[in-house]
Chain A
Amino acid sequence: MALAQGAVATVLLSLAGIAVGVPAGLVFALIRWAKIPILAQIVAAYVSVIRATPLVTLVLLIFFALPGIGIPVDPIPAAIISLSLNTAAFNCEIWRSALNDFPKAQVEAAEATGMSPVVAFRYIIFPQIWRISLPALVNEITLLIKNSPAVAIVGVVDITRAAVRIGAQTYDPLPPFLIATVMYAVIVFVFVKAQASIETAMTRKFDF
């Protein structure tokens, strides 16, 4: 039962991280792609630091340091902020590589028909790059899920933490750990499977 609640927490926290991190990553990637001065450098520095920062350390920083600068934060918001900050940096790199690889000729064709950069992005570029980025984004999602137990350090009870608690109560930690393992496998499998079926549907539709 506690494990089921932990599973809900893990899924919801990951979904929250994805919901913030994937679009934020796209915005960061666009800032770098458009080479907006200063902002682009800030994003580059942010990505470089986050890629080197363990999630545990990031959660600790957010949870303990934010109150210090006058922003009180509960464990769950701290967890969501950390997961989002973390995954946004990796998503930024995924979107950025899709943008950099996007055929310039197609952008020119859009420009030549009088599309403004915003219109061209909305109707020509984005519908194609999300599809190209999807496998990498889902891979990053599975990494995020596997990283999510880090939030237990500030007291959020996710699958891993729930398994530890049960093990401590029953003095037999292996069974809850094995059930937890299966739970993670199922969650990861659902995402990978969803990505594969979107991929198949898309291939059928566009035939390439």
Chain B
Amino acid sequence: MTAEPHLAHRAAPASTERPVIEVRSLWKKFGDLPVLNDISLNVERGKTICVLGPSGSGKSTFLRCLNWLEKPDHGEIFLSGKRIGYREGSDIPMSAKEIAVTRARIGMVFQHFNLWPHLTVLGNIIAAPLHVQHRNRAEIVAEAEALLRKVGLFEKRDVYPAKLSGGQKQRVAIARALAMRPELLLFDEATSALDPELVGEVITVMEDLAKEGMTMVVVTHEMHFAREAADEILFLDRGFVVEHAPPAQFFDNPSSDRVKQFLQRFVR
């Protein structure tokens, strides 16, 4: 954990004063089933938001709307002041290529890692910077190696994903997302598919990122992480925002019975 690659520019204030992500009244249905009902959220630069809720509450769908992997039915999402999914000042949907440009600014870490099996660890990390951002190869490789050191996997740089443990895969996936120098990182239940003894190594990396000022939206079941690392908690149930509060208030003095009920299951 020596080299600290290129995190400084992420914490620096952008030209706009607007939040990194602004969500205004998001609605989404799968068929007849409403999954998101009027969700709004602002994420300021450098903040970590944890999205909690029982399974089926819509939290993953919400996260996937933020980088347009799911298309919401109504509502608007702004990334640093620019509307996602539609061309500027119009209701014309973006082309696949235009959406890709937006997505390149948002990193995502998946529950099942989704590493590309035909590329080495290093290959996974440099693929998008190389082929999407067209940055200089030497520079990317140097940065990728620094990121691998940061997640503690430098010695695995030339290994194929099939040889890694779940925790190692997920740390590579985080490095892959960071290599794009994203303005925002999304975590979709990043530790849910891991064996219990491997959760810690991934959580440590995520906590470090939060401390360093990365802007993150984290869907998780790790209550400890939410309490320690989050600036705000967003609690969803059946597609509604039930509670939106700082962690201290959320965990110690929640206003809704639904949250109390939910938290009771995690009390040991």
Contact = CB atoms under 8 A, between A and B. Distances in A.
Q: Please determine if A and B sit in direct contact within the complex, based on CB atoms under 8 angstroms apart.
A: yes
Contact of A113 (B96, B117, B163, B177): B177
Contacts of B162: 206-208
A123 B116 CA distance: 10
Contacts of A116: 96-97, 100, 132
B153 interface: no
Contacts of B105: 114
Nearest to A202: B118
B118 A207 contact: no
Contacts, number: 81
B160 interface: yes
Interface in B119-170: 127-128, 131-133, 160, 162-163
Given A113-B127, A116-B97, A208-B162, A105 B110 contact: yes
Contacts of B104: 113-114
B52 interface: no
Nearest to B95: A116
Contact of A108 (B101, B107, B114): B114
- Interface range on chain B: under 10, 10 to 19, 20 to 34, or 35 or more? 20 to 34
Interface of A: 105-106, 108-117, 119, 122-124, 127-128, 131, 206-208
A112 B69 contact: yes
B67 interface: yes
Interface of B: 67, 69, 96-97, 100-108, 110, 112, 114-118, 127-128, 131-133, 160, 162-163, 176-177, 180
A108 B103 contact: no
20 contacts: A105-B110, A105-B114, A106-B116, A108-B69, A109-B108, A113-B127, A113-B176, A114-B101, A114-B105, A116-B97, A116-B100, A123-B131, A124-B127, A128-B118, A131-B118, A206-B160, A206-B162, A207-B162, A207-B163, A208-B117
B116 A111 contact: no
B128 A113 contact: yes
A114 B117 contact: no
A186 to B, nearest CB: 33
Nearest to B114: A109
Contact of B110 (A109, A114, A124, A208): A109
Given A110-B128, A116-B96, A119-B100, 5 more contacts: A113-B104, A114-B103, A124-B118, A206-B118, A208-B117
